[in-house]
Amino acid sequence: MHELALSTAIVNTVVKHAEDRRVSRVSLRVGALRQVVPDSLAFYFEIVARDSVCAEACLEQELIPARLRCRACAREWQVEWAAFRCPSCDSADVEVQSGEEFEVESIEIEEEQCIAQR
Amino acid sequence: MHRTKVKVQEDALDANTTIANANRADFDRAGVRVVNLMSAPGAGKTTLLERVVDSLDGVRVGVLEGDVQGSFDADRLARPNVPVVQLNTGNGFGGECHLDANMVRAAIPELPLDEIDLLIVENVGNLVCPAEFRIGEDVRAMVCSVTEGEDKPAKYPLMFRTCDLVIINKVDLLPHLDYDMERFMYYLDAVHPDVPRMLTSARTGAGVEEWRAWLGEVAAHGHAHEHEHEHEHHHAEEVQTA
């Protein structure tokens, strides 16, 4: 159900930028820390997109790995699960470099050709 | 027909964040501090609130009660001098499983902001969705009861990571459970190192004084002091081993 709420947020964002034009592709950047299940998101997106400009759109999900950096010892590393303590110096002063994204990166829009072709 | 790629580069939750900021501005203007209280269903949020809403010294409390349906919790919290506003999310796919900034925005006109100092928003019971949606709160607190098992921080890191306080409730049941508190703390420290935590039993009243003190701090400063966290942490350990 998390993915249902997120799908709604995606469609709303796309609708805002599409300006009534039909959308054929939505490119999304999803950070690993967002706990999004890609299949579930695709499933709900299809339902939520019905009756909107996204009805025919395919949802492209780019998974962004979670990378952390320790402010104390400057170590950088990638995590597979949410462990936020530095493996080198045990500091808790850790910043997230990537992995929190939930961004509509771009959309592909279908437009009528308005310039006559020769 | 031709296809054009349009750069968007917008966080899909931006719309929610914008409304959350507007809520926050309204609360700030009225001098009201806001706690977003979250947990899984049945963790004890309402019982913990029953313990404190009318006994916070010098702090006028209001409650915004989020539920999919009904007003069971709002009825339980009804007290003279404690305004409780019910917010039902029951629309669409059988009801939203969380409060978002827009729902809270719709409830603001019903809240007597001039008459309260602290607004506690009891979110819909759910460890997943509420974590995603800011509502304009100053702080986030969550309740995790010992009957839920010790692996929850590892399973719901987003929730545990975005909270400013973790309350471990129903500790009176520990003698009857195989709950491994050390393991829970290990997961919690991995997911959110040094997050303030306290052990409570809303039923017996254990730890409720710390919970009340934490809310008092938030009402006064918009956050709890670091040294208070330390104190609470040590005290929590004492309760645990007692």
User: Which CATH number is B119's domain given?
Assistant: 3.40.50.300
What is residue B4's predicted lDDT score, i.e. its pLDDT? 93
CA-closest candidate to residue B192, choices B234, B218, B145, B159 = B159
Largest CA distance in chain B: 74
DSSP symbol at A57: P
B1 found inside a domain: no
Q: Residues in chain B with pLDDT < 70?
A: 91-95, 225-242
Residue tagged 């009201």 (tokens): B32
- HSE of A97, CA atoms in CB hemisphere, 13 A: 12
* C-beta atoms of A1 and B97 within 8 A: yes
Any A CB within 8 A of B192 CB: yes
**Per residue in A7-43, pLDDT tens?**
999 999 999 999 999 999 999 999 999 989 999 999 9
Q: Which of B1, B9, B14 sits opposite A110 (nearest CB)?
A: B1
Strands (DSSP E) found in B93-133: 118-122
CB B210 within 8 A of CB B198: yes
Joined tokens for residue B26: 């309204």
Which of A81, A95, A101, A115 best probes binding to B when mutated, by most B CB atoms within 10 angstroms? Answer: A81
Cα–Cα distance for residue pair B23/B141, rounded to 1 Å:
18
B103 found inside a domain: yes
B8 found inside a domain: no
**What is the total count of domains within chain B?**
1
Number of other residues whose CB lies within 10 A of the CB of residue B202: 26
Residue tagged 């039923």 (tokens): B203
Cα–Cα distance for residue pair B31/B219, rounded to 1 Å:
9
* C-beta atoms of B132 and A108 within 8 A: no
Rg (CA), chain B: 18
Q: What is the mean pLDDT of residues A53-77?
A: 96
Number of other residues whose CB lies within 10 A of the CB of residue B68: 17
CA distance A75 to chain B (A): 17
Cα–Cα distance for residue pair B208/B49, rounded to 1 Å:
10
DSSP symbol at A54: T
C-alpha distances (whole Å) from B217 to each of A49, B31, B35, B118, B222 are 45, 14, 12, 11, 7
Amino acid at A31: G
What is residue B235's predicted lDDT score, i.e. its pLDDT? 42
Cα–Cα distance for residue pair B239/B235, rounded to 1 Å:
6
CB A66 within 8 A of CB A33: yes
Cα–Cα distance for residue pair B119/B128, rounded to 1 Å:
22
B43 found inside a domain: yes
What is residue B183's predicted lDDT score, i.e. its pLDDT? 96
ipTM of the complex: 0.86
Cα–Cα distance for residue pair A34/B143, rounded to 1 Å:
21
Q: Which helix (H) or strand (E) holds B143?
A: strand B139-145
CB B45 within 8 A of CB B125: yes
Any A CB within 8 A of B66 CB: no
**Per residue in B47-89, pLDDT tens?**
999 999 999 999 999 999 998 888 888 889 988 889 999 988 8
CB B170 within 8 A of CB B148: no
- Taking the CA atoms of residue B159, residue B202, residue B200 and residue B96 in that order, the dihedral angle to the nearest 10 degrees is 0
* C-beta atoms of B2 and A1 within 8 A: no
* C-beta atoms of B191 and A34 within 8 A: no
Closest-CA residue in chain A for B127? A2
* C-beta atoms of A113 and B6 within 8 A: no
What is residue B81's predicted lDDT score, i.e. its pLDDT? 87
| Residue A106, phi then psi, degrees to nearest 5 | -160, 165
What is residue A114's predicted lDDT score, i.e. its pLDDT? 59
Q: Which of A35, A85, A104 sits opposite B10 (nearest CB)?
A: A104
Any A CB within 8 A of B96 CB: yes
What are the helix and strand counts (H, E) for chain B?
Answer: 10, 8
Q: Which residues contact B102 (CB under 8 A, 6 or more apart)?
A: B16, B19
What is residue B220's predicted lDDT score, i.e. its pLDDT? 95
B171 found inside a domain: yes
Number of other residues whose CB lies within 10 A of the CB of residue B106: 10
pLDDT band at A1 (very low <50, low <70, confident <90, very high): low
- Work out how many CB contacts closer than 8 A connect A with B: 109
Cα–Cα distance for residue pair B139/B35, rounded to 1 Å:
5
Domains and CATH numbers, chain A: 2-65+99-110 (3.30.2320.50)
B72 found inside a domain: yes
Amino acid at B154: A
Range of the domain at B137: 14-241
Q: Which of B6, B11, B133 sits opposite A106 (nearest CB)?
A: B6
C-alpha distances (whole Å) from B203 to each of B47, B121, B242 are 8, 21, 17
What is residue B241's predicted lDDT score, i.e. its pLDDT? 39
Q: Considering only residues 9 to 28 of chain B, which have any Cβ-Cβ distance to chain A shorter than 8 Å? A: 9-16
- Chain A contacts to B (CB-CB under 8 A): 1-2, 4-6, 9-10, 12-14, 16-18, 24, 28, 33-35, 81-85, 92, 94, 101-113
What is residue B231's predicted lDDT score, i.e. its pLDDT? 42
Which of B1, B6, B9 best probes binding to A when mutated, by most A CB atoms within 10 angstroms? Answer: B6
B18 found inside a domain: yes
Residue tagged 């809270």 (tokens): B104
Closest-CA residue in chain A for B129? A2
**Per residue in A81-107, pLDDT tens?**
888 999 999 998 999 999 999 999 999
